Amino acid sequence: MMIKPLNVLGLMGGTSLDGIKAALVSTDGVDIYEVKISRKFIYPEALIQKIRAVLGLHYAIAEEREKIEAAETDVTNFLIEIVKEIKNEIPDTIDVIGLEGPTICHEPENGYTYQLGKGRLLAENTGIKVVTHFRNADILNGGQGSPITATYYSALAQNLEKPNVFINIGGITNLTWTGHLGEITAFDCGPGNALIDDWVFKHGGMQMDFNGKLAATGTVHEKIVNQMMKHDFFAKYPPKSLDRNSFNDKTEHLEGLSLEDGAATATAFISEAIAYSLALYLPEVPVCAVICGGGAQNPTLVRFIRQHLKEMKIETATEDVFNFKIGDAPAIAFLAARRLYSLPITFPTTTGIAQPMTGGEIYEKEGK
């Protein structure tokens, strides 16, 4: 098969409940030629509640399956409207859609991961080929199934000073390290935005700490941060991955704090986990780091990370600097192209899989 650039629409929900990121990317799964569109679609409030209601549920359990199916249909209908809106706005033909819907549960130790989004329904209603469920093959073959975006960030890393690291802060935080020879190490390193989101939702009725304003006005309780760092996950060597709810037991330490102090302490915990993992689990200390994902939009979190990593050159993934290229939606578009060309997306040093392998289920409209 001849590899040629494709117009791929990447749709990313992730573990944070802040909406769907969309990016139209010209890529062949090796190079990223252009990011033509970068948009974000906020979930309607009712849809957020439906997704929250199925977090942690298992499809194999009959009574839970019905709830998952209902939420998944609603998420897919939301995705269909997004695709139709984008199609009406652009002159380009979309060759394929890459979809990574919101993750409701991730338990690789049990051979289970679930992302909401029906590939077949999306393909039937848009007439566009869909690649989705990128993690399943990796998990079924003994891998961690996360992080799956390492190949994308490693491709971007080639133009940066090495060794370097991308700190991708979504609902969960993961690291992608690239060495002098292009070697990759990647792993989930700790909590991300989901920890803060859940705190402010529970105690303030808000979906997130917008621009880190609550944390900026709160006081960090260092003793609580130290207690939260006493989690078995931090003693594990990579490859390793996390579920959105992996640190729920540790969030009990925040109870009793004010809304602002809880947000500040949760934010400090995220930055502490990042610094700890950078120091202990990378093959070589990076000379530069790029903070990306939703966490890059949180000035308080970025400030805390900078305070931990004073000797490291740190950039954030602003649109001006990286021309829209950094983000999980472009990464998912990149993975879809790699799947169509049977290129690997996971490796022994990223998910612990025995050998490099591709991943993703392909759906097309019947009759095409």
Q: Which alpha helices (H) appear in the chain, and where do they start and end?
A: 45-53, 62-89, 119-126, 136-140, 150-157, 193-204, 213-217, 222-228, 259-280, 299-308, 319-322, 328-340
Residue 236: predicted pLDDT? 96
Please determine, for residue 159, whether its predicted confidence score (pLDDT) is greater than 90.
Answer: no
Percent of the chain with pLDDT over 70: 97
- For residue 135, CA distances in Å to 19, 122, 141, 149, 214 come to 20, 19, 10, 10, 34
pLDDT tens for each residue of 26-73: 999 999 999 999 999 999 999 999 999 999 999 999 999 999 999 999
Higher pLDDT, 301 or 368: 301
Q: Which amino acid is at 124?
A: E
- Scanning the structure block, which residue is given the tokens 């329904």? 121
Mean pLDDT of 10-22: 89
Please determine, for residue 319, whether its predicted confidence score (pLDDT) is greater than 50.
Answer: no
CA separation for the pair 125, 177 (Å, rounded): 39
Mean pLDDT of 180-196: 95
Please determine, for residue 312, whether its predicted confidence score (pLDDT) is greater than 70.
Answer: yes
Distance, CA of 156 to chain centre = 16
Given strand 129-132, what is the order of strands in its sheet? 32-41, 20-27, 6-12, 96-100, 129-132, 361-363
Residue 112: predicted pLDDT? 96
pLDDT tens for each residue of 203-255: 999 989 999 999 999 999 999 999 999 999 999 999 999 998 899 888 899 99
- Scanning the structure block, which residue is given the tokens 């025995």? 354
Which of these ranges, 1-15, 52-66, 128-142, has the smallest mean pLDDT? Answer: 1-15
Percent of the chain with pLDDT over 90: 88
Please determine, for residue 322, whether its predicted confidence score (pLDDT) is greater than 80.
Answer: no
Residue 276, CA atoms < 13 Å, CB-side half-sphere: 22
How many other C-beta atoms lie within 10 A of the C-beta of residue 145? 27
- Nearest CA among 72, 108, 65 for reference residue 243: 108
For residue 317, what pLDDT band results from cuts at 50, 70 and 90?
confident
Pairing status of strand 96-100 against strand 6-12: parallel
Residue 266: predicted pLDDT? 97
Domains of the chain by start residue, with CATH? 6-147+324-363 (3.30.420.40), 159-322 (3.30.420.40)
For residue 321, what pLDDT band results from cuts at 50, 70 and 90?
low
Residue 323: predicted pLDDT? 53
CA separation for the pair 64, 42 (Å, rounded): 26
